[in-house]
Amino acid sequence: MILYLGRRLLGVVGVLLAIAAVTFTIFYVLPSDPAAAACGKACSDERLEAIRAHMGLDAPLWRQFSDFVTGIFTGRTMGTGQYALRCDFPCLGYSYENSEDVWDLLVDRLPVSASLAVGASVLWLVLGLSAGVTAALRKDTLTDRALMVGAVAAASLPVYFTSVLLIYGLIRLTGLLPYPQYVPFGSDPLSWASNLLLPWLALAVLYAAMYARQSRGSMIESMAEPYIRTARAKGLPRRTVVVKHGLRAGMTPILTIFGMDLGGLLAGAVITESIFGLPGVGRLFYGALSTGDQPVILGVTLLAATFIVVANLAVDLLYAVVDPRVRY
């Protein structure tokens, strides 16, 4: 297990470095010039060069990337001479738009995105698995067909359409829910949940539908295995047979697609935060894309990549818990 974790962690570092290098290269070959944009139209050559030095854009690409990687672990001094600026560990640079520390921007907005991601993923797992298991246990009945028809319909709805539909139906038409605004969990847990329920639903509907279909197929397959017949022959209670034996075996493919869906979750968070006006990392990323704010884009990209690879590592470790045949 320790050797496996060591190899995977080394792989994580390699993936993050590769993503950072690709992102750097993309911005280097693009025709955009952040220094010229910051300087304005009536800008002298001397002023433009000074801004380039302040932003660290006067160095070659390999040097910029090397300084960036070094700054993540030790901090760095950006710019030279009178334009030098100290960026403390972990340094992701400063925003081109407002000169704020990118790390501080991410830390301020991370609780919002984390609340959205965790709540939506828990909601879609609960709804999807409940619908899938219920349909599997009532195979070929009216309940099964109704649940699967509903799942197919929900899976065809994009996140932005579901968001608009929920806003109209649950806020404007009926007034059942307040318009979402972020309330810190520590301040008022009830308000935190009630204000995020609508974004959770908007983000969870699509995935819950896909998980319902996947878990139905997995449960039908696992419930037909010989060990299930043996458990029933021993007189074990139906709940024990379904939950301990059937559902546990059927969770392996669910864990696989859950790890794969984490990237889609982040993409959905960008749309959801923008529609509902939530001040999260996704909305920050959308704004940075609109203005070409490279340090913010790179910081959010690395944060998202770290989240995905670490979460996939956790999913791989969970295989050993769910499936006794898996050993590391």
pLDDT, position 287:
86
Write out residues in the chain with pLDDT < 50, as ranges.
Answer: none
Q: Which pLDDT belongs to residue 31?
A: 63
Residue type, 63: R
Q: Fold for domain 102-322? A: MetI-like fold (1.10.3720)
CA distance 26 to 31: 10
- Amino acid identity of residue 285, one-letter, is F
Domain spans of the chain, in order of start: 2-87, 102-322
**How high is the pLDDT of residue 146?**
92
Which bin fits 56, alpha (ψ -120 to 50), beta or left (φ > 0)?
left
Picking from 167, 165, 164, 169, the residue whose alpha carbon sits closest to that of residue 180 is 167
Are the beta carbons of 184 and 279 closer than 8 angstroms? no
Q: What's the pTM value of the predicted model, to 2 decimals?
A: 0.80
In Å, what is the CA distance from 271 to each residue of 110, 152, 222, 250, 286?
16, 22, 36, 31, 9
Q: Using one digit for the tens of pLDDT, what is the confidence trace for 188-216? A: 889 898 889 999 998 888 889 988 988 88
